[in-house]
Amino acid sequence: MGIRLQSVSARYSKTRIIDCINLELNGGDIILGPNGSGKTTLFRTIIGVNVYSEGRMEIDGVDIKRIKSTPGILSTNLEEVYNLLRVPVRDLAKLYIELGKGDFSRFLSMVEEFEVFGVLNKRLDELSAGQKRILCNLIALAMDVKYVLLDEPFENMDPARRVKMAKILIEWDGGIVMNTHATWLLDKFSNWRTHLMFHGRVYGPIRVDDLLKARIIEGRREDAISFTIGEKSFSLVSGDKGLCLTEIDSLDRLFEVGL
């Protein structure tokens, strides 16, 4: 049944970041939007971290508040979840993975594959940005859960490790939901669904292969997925006129055009 959001809004103090979202995520989903669009806040809202939220959220038809922290349901790579303990990464990963009833040996195998075995004796705050992202990804994946939320899972990685991470996610036997502002990876996930996110609102879904064939034109079309950036409206249409996503490496560029 998946993760379902009904009229969900979220804010930090008095600043609203997410605005009345209706969304269904079943795994094989990409939240695609520029930096600052609310993607990370969306994930924080789902897992209940440092966000004031309104609306209803369900996982497999059950109110998310009733199953919060229940093993086997949800994991994430959000760094703030793992910053609660200042212990070596090896001990941190072992604790979380065992609490999540996951597979620590599987975690170690992936660590070896990514050639980051040497950092396991360091604390998370002692690692580079790329190392943190890799380790948090792998901890989340090593838990035996139904849904994994990955916030910008390729950020700060070198190209070779990005390819390795993409291969793992494509082949993963479970419900992966990730967000990103990058477009370079889309063709690797051609049968996934994308949900475009701008200014705290979500548009779609549209299959990745259909999105890659579409063009972005200025203006609102009734027969197309339309969205707003800044004060401008855009639509996804078929044809040979307009901007193709493959022509830009990040949706940040589209955000600049809209503003």
Please indicate, yes or no, if residue 135 is contained in any of the structural domains. no
The tokens for 142 are 């090593």
Query: Does 126 score more than 70 pLDDT?
Result: yes
- pLDDT tens digits along 131-186: 999 999 999 999 989 999 999 999 999 999 999 999 999 999 889 999 999 888 89
pLDDT of residue 240: 76
Please indicate, yes or no, if residue 40 is contained in any of the structural domains. yes
pLDDT of residue 184: 85
Residue whose C-alpha is closest to residue 4's, from 22, 24, 18, 20: 24
Please indicate, yes or no, if residue 83 is contained in any of the structural domains. no
| pTM, 2 dp | 0.93
- For a pLDDT cut of 90, what percent of the chain falls above it? 66
Instruction: Considering only the C-alpha atoms of the chain, give the largest distance between any 2 of them, rounded to a whole number of Å.
Output: 56
- pLDDT tens digits along 219-230: 998 889 998 887
Please indicate, yes or no, if residue 126 is contained in any of the structural domains. no
Query: Does 55 score more than 90 pLDDT?
Result: yes
Domain of residue 165, residue span: 3-73+146-258
Please indicate, yes or no, if residue 90 is contained in any of the structural domains. no
For residues 51 and 130, which has the higher predicted lDDT (pLDDT)? 130
Number of domains in the chain: 1
Please indicate, yes or no, if residue 228 is contained in any of the structural domains. yes
Please indicate, yes or no, if residue 99 is contained in any of the structural domains. no
C-alpha distances in Å from residue 227, one per residue of 8, 39, 82, 194, 205: 18, 16, 35, 14, 12
CB-neighbour burial class of residue 33 (10 A; exposed 0-12, middle 13-18, buried 19+): buried
CATH of the domain at 244: 3.40.50.300
- pLDDT tens digits along 14-36: 888 999 999 999 999 999 998 88
- pLDDT tens digits along 180-220: 998 888 989 999 999 999 999 999 999 999 999 999 888 99
Please indicate, yes or no, if residue 88 is contained in any of the structural domains. no
